[in-house]
Amino acid sequence: MNAIMQQLAEHKGCGTDGGNSKPSCGSSAGQGDMPTEIWEKVKNHPCYSEEAHHHYARMHVAVAPACNIQCNYCNRKYDCANESRPGVVSERLTPEQAAKKVVAVASTIPQMTVLGIAGPGDPLANPEKTFKTFELISRTAPDIKLCLSTNGLTLPDHVDTIASYNVDHVTITINMVDPEIGAKIYPWVFYKHKRYTGIEAAQILTERQLQGLEMLTERGILCKVNSVMIPGINDQHLVEVNKAVKSRGAFLHNIMPLISAPEHGTVFGLNGQRGPSAQELKALQDSCEGEMNMMRHCRQCRADAVGLLGEDRSAEFTTDKIMEMEVNYDLDTRKAYQAKVEEERKAKVAAKQEELETLAGADSDIKVLVAVATKGSGLINEHFGHAKEFQVYELSTSGAKFVGHRRVDLYCQGGYGDEDSLSTVIKAINDCHAVFVAKIGGCPKSDLQAAGIDPVDQYAHEYIEKSAITWFKKYLEKVTSGEIEHVQHGDADIRQGALISVA
């Protein structure tokens, strides 16, 4: 492991989350004690920095159709489920079309800072197309960070090429380090012109993944590990995976819920394998957090996703539309826009810090979750009825910590509220004590109250974390005075349908 990565491993790769000395994911609001070289790499990468994901966008280009393994949660009719949502089919591009698309998107969305290749198959099972795309983009859009996601089978063969194209961020999906568990997830791998099955296949895969991870971290390339949490198969085992990848220098661990439905036609979908509940996922992420940085803001995006995580603007940039677009790649405009974003970011962090100081001295071990409707920029700026997802923060005397998001079906159906959707929204945020929104109608308000979720619209268009801390202070005061009793909430659903149907 190189010196910087060693330093990272010791410091858990991160600064502090607002001065309370608790580690937060490589994703803290500021540089903290993170080495400058690492901070430069993560500060505007929306996946490697939770805080950056409110402000910066990524895009994927679907140039890599083939795959060399089979996962039981994947149907090859659809995009790779290791880095995208099952059941989604992306528009495939040639490297030349991809390069044109990147320039078109970067000219339209100046906060788009990262280009990732994540499918629709495995990028390293399609090395020519993947590296040709990187080569073209690094020439035409040199300020864009290059990112790659792989199942890791052929990773050791490509590490030098990855380094030579200045790809600074690589994700490897590692679901197990025990081949017996692996045999329940992977029916086969295709390696060196031969198909392997069962434990032998899983043995080859885990060795290649861990070797690739070590080789990358030795070269100072930031590595994220994705793991799909499959209850009853690898849920307990992922703690061991977490330790194995941490010891090999991984920067970030992203434990994602299995999304599984019969209509996907996957082995797990057809045999009724369930995904985890929201609290099962959070408990596993919490237990691994003592070991290393956990990513909790992954949206399991499509292989052709465009925009902020959680929004998807891919429909604006179809091949037909791109071919007609006049693009002007202006580096100065992009820089100026991003400088403005950095100013907003600083103001938001300062506001949070100031509010946090007013909590100093509060003595309580109460922790509550709150849901937030937001369109980005760290603001409470979405109407309840228009929200396709809610961001979830855990509030305690240490402050407001982002712990996840919940996809939901849209409540507002253009003029009227859909009662069926409302009940699924309530199930998705059932573990939250409050929901912060820019606006909400009378009907959903009373249903939320009846479910024990406080609808809060008084902080409309204000900063999320600052407002949440203010609300939490008042909540603690009411508990202390006996005005209300603090009651722990139950579990919540991870809405499989909403994850599948929303682009």
Q: Which of 106, 147, 172, 456 binds ligand CLF (CB under 6 A)?
A: 147
- Say if residue 277 is exposed, middle or buried (CB neighbours under 10 Å; 0-12, 13-18, 19+): middle
122 lies in the site for ligand SF4, by CB under 6 A: yes
Q: Does 60 bind ligand CLF (CB under 6 A)?
A: yes
Nearer Cβ to ligand SF4 (121/212)? 121
* CA angle, residues 352, 223, 44, in degrees to nearest 5: 40
Lookup result for tokens 């492991």: 1
Q: Does 209 bind ligand SF4 (CB under 6 A)?
A: no
Report the site for ligand SF4 in 381-410 (rule: CB under 6 A). Answer: none
Helices (H), 267-330: 267-270, 278-289, 319-324
User: Minimum distance between the CB of residue 153 and ligand SF4, rounded to whole angstroms?
Assistant: 8
Q: List the x/- string, 1-40, binding to ligand CLF by CB under 6 A.
A: ----------------------------------------
Shortest separation between residue 437's beta carbon and ligand CLF, angstroms: 24
228 lies in the site for ligand CLF, by CB under 6 A: no
3-class SS string, 321-349: HHHHCCCCCCHHHHHHHHHHHHHHHHHHH
Distance CA 64, CA 62 (A): 6
**At its nearest, how many Å lie between ligand SF4 and the CB of residue 101?**
21
SS3 379: strand
Smallest gap from Cβ 317 to ligand SF4, in A, equals: 23
In the window 48-87, what residues touch ligand SF4 (CB under 6 A)? 67, 69-71, 74, 80-82
CB of 69 to ligand SF4, least distance (A): 5
300, interface contact from ligand SF4, ligand CLF, none, CB < 5-8 Å by kind: ligand CLF
Neighbours of 270 (CB within 10 A): 15
Burial class (CB in 10 A: 0-12, 13-18, 19+), 462: middle
- Contact track, ligand CLF, 288-327, x by CB under 6 A: ----------xxxx-------x------------------
Please identify the residue of the shown chain whose CB is closest to the bound ligand CLF.
116
CB of 228 within 8 A of CB of 298? Answer: no
Q: How far is the CB of 225 from ligand CLF (least distance, A)?
A: 10
What is the nearest approach in angstroms of ligand CLF to the Cβ of residue 302?
Answer: 8
* Rounded (10°) CA dihedral 460, 463, 468, 473: -100
Are 25 and 14 in contact by the 8 Å Cβ rule? The answer is: yes
For residue 47, which of 114, 132, 105 has the smallest C-alpha distance?
Answer: 114
Binding residues for ligand CLF restricted to 71-90, rule: CB under 6 A: 83
Query: Which of ligand SF4, ligand CLF, none interacts with 309 (beta carbon under 5 to 8 A by kind)?
Result: ligand CLF
CB of residue 164 vs ligand SF4: minimum separation in angstroms?
24
| Amino acid in position 195 | R
Nearer to ligand SF4, 46 or 152 (CB): 152
What are the start-end ranges of the H helices in 150-197?
A: 155-164, 179-182
x/- mask, ligand CLF, residues 90-119, rule CB under 6 A, reads ------------------------x-x-x-
Residues binding ligand CLF: number (CB under 6 A): 18
Give whichever of 74 and 176 is closer to ligand SF4, judged by the CB atom.
74
Which residues within the stretch 247-276 sit at the binding site for ligand CLF (CB under 6 A)?
254
Residue 416 neighbours by CB distance under 10 Å: 11
Structure tokens at 38: 């690492």
Q: Which is nearer to ligand SF4, 71 or 258 (CB)?
A: 71
How far is residue 172 from each of residues 114, 210, 252, 258, 394, measured CA to CA in Å? 17, 9, 11, 16, 28
Give the full edge-to-edge strand order of the sheet including 169-173.
294-295, 252-257, 222-229, 169-173, 145-150, 112-117, 57-60, 306-307
Tokens linked to 403: 């712990």
CB proximity list for 501: less than 8 A, separation 6 or greater: 409
For ligand CLF, the closer CB: 46 or 399: 46
Please report, as ranges, the residues that interact with ligand SF4 according to CB under 6 A: 67, 69-71, 74, 80-82, 121-122, 151
Please report, as ranges, the residues that interact with ligand CLF according to CB under 6 A: 47, 58, 60, 83, 114, 116, 118, 147, 149, 169, 171, 224, 254, 298-301, 309
